[in-house]
Amino acid sequence: MAQIIECVPNFSEGRNQQVIDAISKSIKSVTGVSLLDVDPGKSTNRTVYTFVGTAEGVVEAAMAASRTAYELIDMTKQSGEHPRLGALDVCPFIPVSNATLEDCVACAKMFSERLAKELDVPVYLYGFASERDYRKQVPQIRAGEYEGLSSKITKEEWKPDYGPADFRPKWGATIAGARKFLIAYNINLLSTKEQAHRIALNIREQGRSAKEPGRLKGVQGIGWWYDEGKIAQVSTNLTDLDVTSLHQVWTEVNKDATELQIPVMGSEIVGLVPLKPMIDVAEYFIEKENLFVLEEEQKVQLAVNRLGLTTLSPFHYKTRIIEYAVDNSGSSPLLNKTVREFISEVAVRKPAPGGGSVAALIGSLGAGLCRMVGLLSSGNKKFEHLEKDMRRLVPVFHAAMIRLSALIDADTRAFNSIIEANRLPSGTPELAAVKTESVQKATLNAIEVPMETAKVVNSIWDALVELAAVANITAISDLQVGAKSLETAVYGAVCNVKINLPGLDDVSQRDTLREEAEKGLETCRQGFVKSVEVIESRIKSNSK
């Protein structure tokens, strides 16, 4: 899956629709960025935009939106109920998929530097991007608001991280940073507001006081009455999903509600949510209830069902889960082709996609065949005695199939990176050094990708041998094709490793990787031989 970083800039304009639309248009103009939500507030006079993309894409979109805001928003004429410091008040970058907080810190700093340089405005860093404790939180930096900025900005301790330490009346100042994803999550109760708040006090990190903290770290919460639904809610914000998950909040609220004899009527997620927290919910219930669910979207549906996310309104996961809401078809162009299109793409007169991508495809097909044979030996009364083993083995093949599928496009991207690196200019010593470094980095990546293909395949031989010994005999020929496909995948992957090795300047590294590739071939040979021996033994035994 492609890298997805979320950016949620808050602009100090929520009443002028023309300005709101103009900023939206500027965000949409950036290729590869998806604008997911625009939320204006008239009383707050503030609009929150939510868009996602790669690191480069979200920074560029944030810049495009800022340029528009610079032309159209005048802070000397702005007022509203929401605290604010500038025309672009806050601009957080948040990791969603295949991105880290470090990536988002880099985005925040890159954006801040560009914004300050291009528009000549002051920018403060906050959250994980800030290195100063007294100005890590937005309220700390925003204290005094726009009206107090002219005197505050001249103080040494409030000198901006980027841009001039001078008051810019039309713009004010911007706060940019990196933070973890926050989920607004409400659990519905047939109770009073006071009972809901009592539970909120029990679970939220703040608790009732410093001496009486709550049970869950990284959780903010209150109880309130939701008039539209005629129910009470424990309303929470999950500020650190690495510490406390959705299912933990759900479980703890249910525990307290049961003790108070209060019915729980499902829950709701406000706004969009990343895929991982939903999968984590599913995995919790799969383990708790001893379920057997493989497919990603089935796991999402299980999470939606167990949390009761459709109680108040429909939860359309295709539009509510960020990874599904974003069109990722461009990130896996080969994987998304039809079989006919893929064959044609391989057959044309160009070097990529080539053997590395084909090896990954063959490997994914081999793992898929093993998965199929495992499923044919499961969920049937005739094979009831194998159910426990199949529930353990099938996920191994499933995970390998998914990983190998992703390597199809990764291999072609790696090869194309070498081509692009070799096209870099080298007219000066500095440019030549940059080019050399880029070529070496791209070459190493073009070696590591097929090496990963071989490693993934070699990780499932033991499971294949075990499956071959007990699997549904009527599908044994499929297992034969699967084993041969896996062997071919490793052979093809190692061939691609070896052909790229001469491009590495580091002789020691070259030798180490060659040795690793040879070991991979030997591991494959042994795994294939064992698999074939077991398969042929089963066939011979069955023919008697």
Domain with CATH 1.20.120.680 in the chain: 333-543
The reply to whether 327 belongs to the active site is no
pTM: 0.80
**462 flagged as catalytic:** no
* Catalytic option among 89, 242, 411, 462: 411
Choice among 39, 82, 240, 462 that is catalytic: 82
Per-residue pLDDT tens over the stretch 521-532:
999 999 999 999
The end-to-end CA distance of the chain, in Å, is 48
Cα atoms in the Cβ-side hemisphere of radius 13 Å centred on 289 = 12
Query: How far, CA to CA in Å, does 447 sit from each of 177, 428, 433, 450, 509?
Result: 35, 29, 21, 6, 11
Mean pLDDT within 306-325: 92
Per-residue model confidence (pLDDT) at position 373: 96
What number does CATH give the domain 4-178? 3.30.990.10
Mean pLDDT of all residues in 211-220: 94
The 3 state secondary structure assigned to 330-361 is HHCCCCCCCHHHHHHHHHCCCCCCCHHHHHHH
Of 543 and 77, the structure prediction assigns the larger pLDDT to 77
Assigned architecture for domain 333-543: Up-down Bundle (1.20)
What is the band of 330 on the pLDDT scale with cuts at 50, 70, 90? Answer: low
pLDDT at 326: 83
Q: Which amino acid is at 358?
A: V
173 closest CA partner among 235, 83, 102: 83
DSSP-assigned states of every residue in 437-475: HHHHHHHHHHHHHHHHHHHHHHTTHHHHHHHHHHS-GGG
Please name the residues in contact with 18: beta carbons below 8 A apart, sequence gap of 6 or more.
none
Exposed/middle/buried for 161, CB within 10 Å: 0-12, 13-18, 19+? buried
Residue ranges of the chain that CATH labels 3.30.990.10: 4-178
Q: What is the CA radius of gyration of the chain?
A: 28
Which residues in 76-115 belong to E strands, given as ranges? 88-97
Q: Where in the chain is the domain with CATH 3.30.70.670?
A: 183-325
Q: Rounded to the nearest 5 degrees, what angle is found at the Cα of 224, between the Cα atoms of 219 and 226?
A: 120
Is CATH 3.30.450.20 correct for 183-325?
Answer: no
Give the pairing of strands 88-97 and 174-178.
parallel
* Residue 346, both tokens: 């391989």
Average pLDDT, the chain: 94
pLDDT at residue 51, as a whole number:
94
